[in-house]
Amino acid sequence: TPVFSNAMQFLIVNPYWNVPPSIIKKEMLPKLKEDPDYLNKLGYEVLPQNGGGIAVRQPPGERNALGFIKFMFPNEHAVYLHDTPQRNLFARDERAFSHGCVRVDQPFALANVLLSAMGYDEAKLKALIGKGEKTIQLHNRLPVHLTYFTLRVDDEGHIQRFADIYGHDQKLRTALMASSNKMASLR
């Protein structure tokens, strides 16, 4: 998951999952070689593209990798927040299971907060499930800041350490050492 800031603009209820080309190439094509009916068995749609390529998407529904809602802040990384059918993952300590997007534990509660002023509540949102993809524009954009921390201070004042799964800490150490060495050479 990249570190960046943007603004949430809309939600999509019953989203299609347009599988990124990198996932098609690295994960789906090898499985298709083993089983040519692999995508069909999982309910994916294969769509021809101009120029001879293909697009793969997963229709809305209970098995959809994005769950029932995705929260969109369009960005160059194609990263967003979304529901998930894999609710069991929230009980695990390690949660780096995504390809970059961020799973939301209580998506209807978040949507309720974002849309309550527009007349939506959780019941009204859940009533939309299964009725086709629906985009709901936010009246006001919401700032989103995706950050990454490997340390935090708990309520008792103790430092908790977390795995540096992206290697950011080492990059920061290297940059700080280079800066420190440069400053020392200027003295």
d(CA 57, CA 90): 25
Per-residue pLDDT of the chain (187 residues; tens, 9 = 90+): 788 999 999 999 999 999 988 889 999 999 999 999 999 998 999 999 888 888 999 999 988 989 999 999 999 988 999 998 777 665 666 666 667 788 899 999 999 999 999 999 899 999 999 999 999 999 999 999 998 888 999 999 999 998 888 888 888 888 888 877 776 777 6
- 21 in Cβ contact with 94 (< 8 Å): no
Q: Pick the catalytic residue: 101, 145, 158, 168?
A: 101
- 8 in Cβ contact with 139 (< 8 Å): no
d(CA 90, CA 186): 50
d(CA 120, CA 130): 17
**Catalytic-residue membership of 82:** yes
What does the pLDDT read at residue 162? Answer: 86
Q: How far is CA 73 from CA 79, 134, 142, 176, in A?
A: 8, 16, 9, 32
**Catalytic-residue membership of 101:** yes
Q: Pick the catalytic residue: 82, 139, 145, 158?
A: 82
Q: How far is CA 116 from CA 7, 46, 81, 82, 139, in A?
A: 18, 37, 19, 19, 11
d(CA 165, CA 174): 17
